[in-house]
A and B are shown apart, each in its own frame.
Chain A
Amino acid sequence: MKKASLALIFILFLSVLAACGNDDESSSDSNGDSGEKVVKVWFGREDFIPADNFEKFHEEHPDIRVEADVVPLEQAVSDFMRNHSAGNEPDIVQVFHDNVGTMVSQDTLMDISEYVDQWESDDADGFNKILSQAWDIASWEDKVYGMGIHVGPYWHVYRKDWFEEEGLEIPTDYDELLEAARVLDTDEHEGYALVGGREHPAWWFSSLFVSMGGEYSSTGLPQIDSEAGHYLIDFYQTLMREELIDPSAISWSSGEMRGAFIGGNAAMAPIGDNIFPLIQEEMTYGEEWTAAPQPVRPGQESNQHEIWGWPMMVSSNTENPEAVMEVFKYLSDTEIVDEVAKRYQPTTNSEVMQSEEYVEAKPWAADFEEEFANTIIMPSHINQGEVMNILVDVQQEALQNTERDPAEIAAEYQEKLNELDN
């Protein structure tokens, strides 16, 4: 009995040592047995993984094995950095695009510009199907470090049936939107819905800012102490002051905003393209609901639309950049990416976006074709996390203090933003 216990403790001790030890096999398996190349990929969401899970890729490239895993976008950067330090990171990691600068500054990404040029010269037709945003979104200081296969804009969604009942037109500027919200705000539903809580970065706030003519500094700081910034703050204050949104919207996450629109509790909302299929499950596009590009600020003739992306970034330590490029070609291949784009996020493959099947699957896509092709990528600052926290503070200040002068709020927070450049 005593001997058995000792043996058990010894085995346990060895197991602990083995667990704590460096796994040499895993760190050197980028070239597996028999010369097989292994490409490890961290996807930010399971939805981004093609339905065939690289089956066709493995048939076409028997010498490359893709090992796909899901690491949520929210923790991908810090996990990648930690694993990079330990030499255990994946070859490709999917991140929010505004983290690219941070990752470049830590020398964790590989400049793949030469491989991109090689792709262009080898297969010009295939390469030209890819929109320039795919490379822009994964670039920092004119060098390409990855590829954005999917990008997502925010548009405005409207309850078309309610607008028609009241004889209202879909708003083209934000003053018209507020007027429509005043008419459509009843005891049964709110006029508008928005994300006011701290749960997410200020993506919606930033999207509206750009659509109102907001600009960024050369370092990627939003210039909120501007006409557009003042108008945006006043817009949020008006919505809350006149109770055109739910009084508890200051604590709302994106789920609550979407739920309010889909559940018939709000007449309008700024919602991402990826949620449209969910809305379509409950209502019919063009009859009960419709969508349109963001309105303009009154007085403006046109505006710009901002997009976000989740680019696939290449590790600086990858031993197989050619194999990585093959993975990119596969993921952005029309046949493969078409399936993901139809059920989830829009893609930078223009052939897919213009295909009849895509328009059939997403009937609203045709209404945004021009705007989508001309979207601008949300600029990011080297301290993007702090920028987003300050923008969330501005948003919450506007919703909490509806009588405060917008110019005063903008000036106070612009000063905090500008400090990030020092």
Chain B
Amino acid sequence: MAAGSETKYSLQNEKNKKEQKKSKFRKKMIPYILVFPAVLFVIGVLGYAIIAGLLMSLFDIRLSFGDAPFVGLENYIYLFTDEIFLNSLFISLIFVFGSVVLGLALSLSFALSLYKCKRTGNFYKALALVPYLISGIATAIMFRFLFSGDVGLINLILKTVGLDAVNFLADPWWALLVCVLANVWFVCPFATLVLLSGIQSVDPELFDSAKIDGAHRIHILRKIILPLIAPMMGISLIWLSFASFNMFDVILPLTNGGPGRSTEVMALYMYNVAFGELQYSLGSAVMVIILFFNVVTSVIYLKIFNVNYAD
């Protein structure tokens, strides 16, 4: 009898263990199941576009000519010997560097300010998102009005305080600076929210104990906040440089690459060759190069800032 009940017990135990295992497996699988539709969507849409673009860049597809021969890496060789593309690459690097440095500094200061706003925090958070919600074209028109040569607000202010007006959009370096400012205005809000979420995840007791120990605000920022939000800073930097490398819809209506080609970033160059000159393969090759820069910078940020979700 006892042996029978023991066997029954061990069977029950085994069954429970199996059920527990199953349950554990189910629990482990849930995140993957939930993520699966998004992964499928990304692979379907983005993956297809990347693979099609990559393949297209190996042919010579121009709408002006009927045939589309396989040319291997010729499009890439052409690009890296074409002074107009090399100029756009150089402009892109300056543009991205300027946008990332200025964007990160502003995002961090906005995030710290929003963290301090306790009572009206939600209102200011919503307000901070406004630039991100405005379309690129509207942003460009707004900046064109601000920096226009004769009737621009900035020049009116300069004249009011007795300074000479500046032809912002007619000067290569000023025009590039205006593009950087417009881009930062556009991409900063999202980076701010990412950093704010990082700051909010820091245990407030750390700040209190640091204060008790006599730490200065700068020390709190340098020794507590910045190290603890490093992963979030990495995410912010990925966003800032990714959005800047791909930036096109603000620059097109703002300067369209001018004066000369001083604000023609790679994304704009890609648009011009693909849709203006109808050289689809060359445009695809530029897309691959932009993708390469995005991947490389992202990997660098992830390494430097040690972004690891498992932690």
> A and B: real partners?
yes
Max chain A CB contacts within 10 Å: which of B168, B257, B258, B259? B258
Q: Are B63 and A198 in contact (CB under 8 A)?
A: no
A329 vs B100: C-alpha distance when bound (angstroms): 58
Cβ-defined partner of A102 (8 Å) among B63, B170, B255: B63
A75 vs B275: C-alpha distance when bound (angstroms): 8
Q: Which of B166-190 contact A (CB under 8 A)?
A: 167-170, 175
Q: Are A198 and B170 in contact (CB under 8 A)?
A: no
A265 vs B148: C-alpha distance when bound (angstroms): 15
Instruction: Find chain A residues with CB under 8 A from B175 CB.
Output: 251
A404 vs B116: C-alpha distance when bound (angstroms): 57
Cβ-defined partner of B276 (8 Å) among A246, A248, A389, A400: A389
Instruction: Find chain B residues with CB under 8 A from A247 CB.
Output: 149, 167, 170
Q: Is the interface of B mostly helix, strand, loop or mixed?
A: loop
Instruction: Find chain A residues with CB under 8 A from B275 CB.
Output: 75, 78
Q: Number of contacts between A and B (CB, 8 Å)?
A: 75
A199 vs B256: C-alpha distance when bound (angstroms): 6
Instruction: Find chain B residues with CB under 8 A from A105 CB.
Output: 63-66
Q: Are A101 and B259 in contact (CB under 8 A)?
A: no
A250 vs B276: C-alpha distance when bound (angstroms): 20
Q: Are B64 and A251 in contact (CB under 8 A)?
A: no
Instruction: Find chain B residues with CB under 8 A from A396 CB.
Output: 258-260
By size class, the interface of chain A is 20 to 34
In the complex, residue of chain A having the shortest beta-carbon distance to the beta carbon of B268: A198
Q: Are B66 and A385 in contact (CB under 8 A)?
A: no
Q: Which of A181-198 contact B (CB under 8 A)?
A: 197-198
In the complex, residue of chain B having the shortest beta-carbon distance to the beta carbon of A75: B275
Confirm or deny: A335 has a beta carbon within 8 angstroms of a beta carbon on chain B: no
Confirm or deny: B14 has a beta carbon within 8 angstroms of a beta carbon on chain A: no
Q: Are B63 and A106 in contact (CB under 8 A)?
A: yes
Q: Are B150 and A248 in contact (CB under 8 A)?
A: yes
Instruction: Find chain B residues with CB under 8 A from A81 CB.
Output: 63
Q: Are B278 and A250 in contact (CB under 8 A)?
A: no
Q: Are A385 and B278 in contact (CB under 8 A)?
A: yes
Q: Are B256 and A106 in contact (CB under 8 A)?
A: no
Confirm or deny: B272 has a beta carbon within 8 angstroms of a beta carbon on chain A: yes
Once A106-B63, A383-B64 are accepted as A-B contacts, the answer to whether A251 and B278 lie under 8 Å apart by CB is: no
Instruction: Find chain B residues with CB under 8 A from A107 CB.
Output: 66
Q: B interface vs A, CB < 8 Å?
A: 63-66, 148-150, 167-170, 175, 253, 255-261, 272, 275-278
13 additional A-B residue pairs with CB within 8 Å, beyond A250-B170, A396-B258: A75-B275, A102-B64, A105-B64, A105-B65, A198-B259, A199-B256, A248-B150, A249-B170, A382-B64, A386-B277, A396-B259, A397-B260, A400-B259
